[in-house]
Amino acid sequence: GAVVSQHPSWVICKSGTSVKIECRSLDFQATTMFWYRQFPKQSLMLMATSNEGSKATYEQGVEKDKFLINHASLTLSTLTVTSAHPEDSSFYICSARDGSSGGALRTDTQYFGPGTRLTVL
């Protein structure tokens, strides 16, 4: 159990275009999903937290109009990088948590997707 997928695994786009990354929990309901960004040789930095059906909570310094997050269902969250620029090139990772009581998974553990490598030319 606890499989989280991301699509695409890598994407190359031109500067100024928008890119959508999907994060799916395959075998559990993700009441909360998280989006991280990792720069080379750096730690994972939390960008935002989203709960199903409500607006995402963004970390300080993260532009919510640039990084649009939608958590429309208990198994899917999307991150859209709008008007991408080369400095947005990074490794984006989502994670999901099953916070519902009675679920089979630990409610306090995040399960990570495989990540999406974004390169903006």
Partner 1 sequence: DQQVKQNSPSLSVQEGRISILNCDYTNSMFDYFLWYKKYPAEGPTFLISISSIKDKNEDGRFTVFLNKSAKHLSLHIVPSQPGDSAVYFCAASRGDKIIFGKGTRLHILP
Range in contact with partner 1 (rule: CB under 8 A) among 14-22, 37-45, 63-71, 72-80: 37-45
Binding to partner 1 by residue 34, rule CB under 8 A?
yes
Per-residue tokens: 56: 């995402």
- Which uninterrupted H or E stretch holds 81? strand 76-81
Q: How many CB atoms lie within 10 A of CB 9?
A: 12
Per-residue binding string, partner 1, 91-110, x by CB under 8 A, is x-xxx-x--------x-xxx
**Binding residues for partner 1, total number by CB under 8 A:** 26
- What letter would DSSP give residue 66? T
The whole-angstrom separation of Cα 15 and Cα 31 is 33
Contacting positions for partner 1 (CB under 8 A):
2, 4, 6, 32, 34, 41-44, 46, 49, 91, 93-95, 97, 106, 108-115, 117
